[in-house]
Amino acid sequence: MIKAIRRMQERKLRGFVKLLYHHHPYYRRLMKKLKLTPRDIRKVDDLRKLPLTTKMELRENPKAFVLQPQRKRLKKTLSLKQKLSALLNMEKFKEKMKWEYAPVTFFASSGRTGMPTPAFMTRYDLELLKVNTMAAIKRITKGIKRPVGQNMFPFAPHLAFWHVTLGLLDYQDMFWIAFGAGRTELQVDVMEKFKVNVIAGMPTFVKRISDVMVEKEKRSYVRRVVLGGESAPKGLVKAIKDNFSENGPEPQVIQGYGLTESKMAILECREGSGYHIFPHIHIWELVDKNTFEPVEEDGLIVFSHIDMRGTVFLRYLTGDFLKGRIVEERCPYCGSTVPRIEGKIKRIVDMEKNLKSTKVKGTLIDLDVFDEILSEIEDIEQYQVIIKKENKYDPYSRDVVEIYVGPKKHVINIDELVRTVKEKVKSYTEITPRIKIKSPSQIFEEVMGPLKGVRVIDKREKTKG
């Protein structure tokens, strides 16, 4: 079966590269510069003849990454069936080409550092997104007799919200509700009233929903939680499961992985299964984080489209590191034979700000370590970490790490909690933080942005060299 999947991928790759060579401004120029033609990229391994594509190149000229068929070159990529269609009914053919290639919207990330970089979508893309999301929903909800879903992803031109929404539009086996993010208490009331058993949202917001359900002593019917859009440390996942199981069944927490540029997220079928790829949409590979040479495990994640229209990529460097591998064995949970990305994914290269690792007080630390430490302290309901200069007007003043801690209601000994946080952070980072106590609700309002929760913020001004 794996050999059949590889043959299918290589057949699609050959057609897709031909399409890009004639109609994609960026890759047409790149291949001509490298003196490559579509005949040079016929197998998956041949993709290595191309350099990696980075976020910086996309940001410089987003339009150059959009397929733009030109009439004079269109004949070189049309199938015989399409040519016959054009001869028989030119108007219908033109409408079909418009449906396939004309961008109708775009998705973007949160754009916290300025104008977000768009990934343009055509109707062809939206249909692919809808059909494949329906298949993923069916797999995730297997075993639930009457699935009732609630989409808590933020309403915006954001992949996660529209991924779920499009997948549900024609899905007849689920009653669903879409609130977006916000109106927490109302969402909790609706969840209880409609006996919602499947929810999807950002980890930070879903955690808040679960907190409020416990506070209001609401009955939970949630059996599946789908998380995406930001990191979900183990402690946060455990807290979500514990909260929902306070007055209901313990749910499975299923995670998704995707980015705006991929235009389609990949999901676990069950908790811990690994992310099932769409082998007819993407080819995934791993490269060494220093040399960018291909590796079998523990590497930066790279993908190539072999389908989609609008904005598309070959060998796009995601900036995410997989501590694991891409496996091709049959899934022990659902029996699928498609490859899975298995292991822990973390962002080590922030394509907007270069590195997710940074020096604080002269010590190089991974900013994700704060999430890993604080999410596992059970007496903390909400937290936020701020790294700043002691004197904000002096870029050479010493670094300060402030941690705002929102204790759970049952916590009586605040001093003990503060001592615990200081000791754990220092033992992992060699940094003694300043701890400030705030109400969990106040911290949540400050943490949640328009799209993603930002639990760790670096406010230091970069010195000019």
What is the per-residue pLDDT across 20-61, written as a single tens digit (0 to 9) for each? Answer: 999 999 999 999 999 999 999 999 999 999 999 998 899 889
CATH architecture of 102-272: 3-Layer(aba) Sandwich (3.40)
Examine the pLDDT at 314 and tell me if it is beyond 50. Answer: yes
What is the residue extent of each domain of the chain?
Answer: 102-272, 356-458
Say if CB 310 and CB 320 are below 8 A apart.
no
The tens digit of pLDDT for each residue in 173-198 reads 999 999 888 889 999 999 999 999 99
The edge-to-edge listing of strands for the beta sheet with 380-389 is 434-437, 399-407, 380-389, 456-458
Name the amino acid, one letter, at 424: K
Per-residue tokens: 361: 């007080």
Is residue 437 a contact partner of residue 420, using CB atoms and an 8 Å limit? no
The phi and psi torsions of 142 (rounded to 5 degrees) equal -55, 130
The token pair at 146 is 């009457």
pLDDT tens-digit map of 63-122: 999 999 988 888 888 888 888 887 888 898 899 999 999 999 999 875 444 456 789 999
Give mean pLDDT, residues 263-269. 93
Give me 238's structure tokens.
């455990």
> Class of the 356-458 domain?
alpha beta
Q: What is the pLDDT of residue 334?
A: 87
Inter-residue contact 267 to 296 (CB < 8 Å): no
Q: Please state, for a pLDDT cut of 70, what percent of the chain lies above it.
A: 91
